[in-house]
């Protein structure tokens, strides 16, 4: 089976024996998934694809203790996230373990040289093709721990835990600001009564750093938060703890975490979300479409979906199909806040 992605096509032509190696932050590629090795990824979609084929796969928060003969790190488009993976590998693998780093030139793979030099790790270039490059080093103990990548900042009166690779890393995006202002106005109109505002039992889908979950929990909502990204799940847990509030935080693809826990279906008075529409560099409406179309099945009668999105995104048709009608609560020309109610 031939490799599909440029980075895997570069790896495919190597003479290295990759049996038993870790594939760290890998893309979806049938050639890669046919090789003998273990996937290490924060993306639940990648993990489930590997596990569905009876292949070994773990998140960086649950990795098996057995050390591999080597590892390949697929350099992410976020340089800061790539640096975290380097720190994590140096803290996790025995010194001297071979480590290859591969990525697209457009994705910043050439910056790997400076990142490795800053950690005192040697490096040599193995190959380049398909506008990609492959480098080799060996892991060693370094002065920084992976936890050094975690930071905190404050926004909307909430202390937020932040990590590279989590949406809105280090800042609050304008769309979420607009949604929070809208939620605040609805709570004020209801006399700060979360039940009267329809925000008693809330599901935060695509929770990111946990801003919506923590903001609502501080006002008395009972919150469940989900995200497909393990870093986002961990960030939300840390955010809730930092603000002295509690909530359930689950890793799942849209509603899958609720379905697997046996708690899905007509359970929430509100679903709130600033859903993603990118998968790497490509636009992907799939998760947001499933969020909207399946929302009525997760809401109590009279329950509401409160959604913020870029104004150009084609969500009105989906909302009308799922709920029959909807209203626009806020529109600043860049973002819109939609509300749809289950009748």
Q: Given this model, what pLDDT does residue 278 score? A: 47
Contact 164, 78 (CB under 8 A): yes
Q: Give residue 210's region: left, alpha or beta (phi > 0; psi -120 to 50).
A: left
Residue 14 CA to residue 304 CA, distance in Å, equals 53
Q: Given this model, what pLDDT does residue 259 score? A: 73
Q: Whole-model pTM above 0.85?
A: yes
CATH topology for the 6-146 domain: Rossmann fold (3.40.50)
Query: What tokens does 210 get?
Result: 């946990």
Residue 205 CA to residue 215 CA, distance in Å, equals 14
Every domain of the chain and the residues it spans? 6-146, 150-341
- Across the chain, which has 343 residues, the per-10-residue mean pLDDT values are 92 93 96 90 94 93 84 95 96 97 94 94 95 98 93 96 90 95 97 97 96 98 96 97 97 87 75 76 73 96 96 93 97 97 95
Q: Which residue has the tokens 């103990």?
A: 141
Topology match between the domains 6-146 and 150-341: yes
Q: Does domain 150-341 have CATH number 3.40.50.150?
A: yes
Residue 79 CA to residue 124 CA, distance in Å, equals 19
Could you give the angle at the alpha carbon of 239 between the alpha carbons of 41 and 224, nearest 5°? 80
Residue 304 CA to residue 269 CA, distance in Å, equals 6
Burial classification of residue 142, based on how many CB atoms lie within 10 Å of its CB (0-12 exposed, 13-18 middle, 19 or more buried): middle
Residue 288 CA to residue 273 CA, distance in Å, equals 9
What's the half-sphere exposure (Cβ side, CA atoms, 13 Å) at 233?
Answer: 18
Other CB atoms within a 10 A radius of the CB of residue 331 amount to: 12
Q: Given this model, what pLDDT does residue 64 score? A: 65
């Amino acid at each position: 089976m031939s490799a599909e992605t440029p980075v895997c096509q570069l790896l495919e032509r190597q003479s290295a024996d990759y049996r038993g190696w870790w594939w760290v932050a890998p893309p979806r590629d049938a050639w890669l998934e046919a090789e003998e090795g273990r996937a290490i990824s924060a993306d639940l979609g990648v993990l489930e694809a590997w596990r569905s084929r009876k292949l070994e796969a773990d998140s960086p928060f649950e990795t098996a203790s057995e050390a591999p003969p080597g590892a390949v790190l697929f350099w992410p488009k976020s340089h800061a996230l790539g640096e975290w993976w380097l720190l994590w590998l140096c803290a996790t693998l025995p010194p001297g373990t071979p480590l290859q780093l591969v990525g697209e030139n457009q994705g910043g793979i050439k910056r790997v040289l400076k990142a490795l030099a800053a950690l005192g790790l040697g490096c040599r270039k193995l190959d380049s093709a398909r506008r990609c490059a492959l480098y080799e080093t060996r892991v060693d103990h370094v002065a920084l721990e992976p936890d050094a990548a975690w930071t905190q900042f404050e926004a909307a009166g909430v202390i937020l835990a932040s990590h590279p690779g989590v949406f809105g890393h280090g800042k609050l995006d304008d769309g979420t600001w607009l949604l929070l202002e809208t939620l605040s106005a609805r709570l004020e109109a209801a006399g700060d009564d979360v039940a009267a505002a329809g925000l008693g039992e809330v599901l935060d889908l695509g929770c990111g750093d946990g801003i919506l979950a923590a903001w609502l929990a501080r006002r008395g909502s009972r919150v469940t938060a989900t995200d497909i990204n393990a870093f986002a799940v961990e960030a939300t847990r840390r955010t809730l703890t930092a603000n002295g509030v509690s909530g359930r935080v689950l890793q799942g693809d849209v509603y899958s975490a609720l379905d697997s826990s046996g708690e899905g279906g007509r359970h929430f008075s509100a679903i709130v979300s600033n859903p993603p529409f990118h998968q790497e560099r490509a636009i992907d409406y799939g998760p947001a479409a499933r969020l909207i179309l399946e929302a009525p099945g997760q809401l109590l009668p009279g329950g509401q979906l409160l959604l913020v999105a870029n104004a150009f995104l084609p969500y009105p048709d989906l909302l009308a199909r799922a709920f029959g009608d909807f209203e626009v609560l806020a529109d600043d020309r860049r973002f819109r806040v939609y509300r749809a109610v289950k009748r």
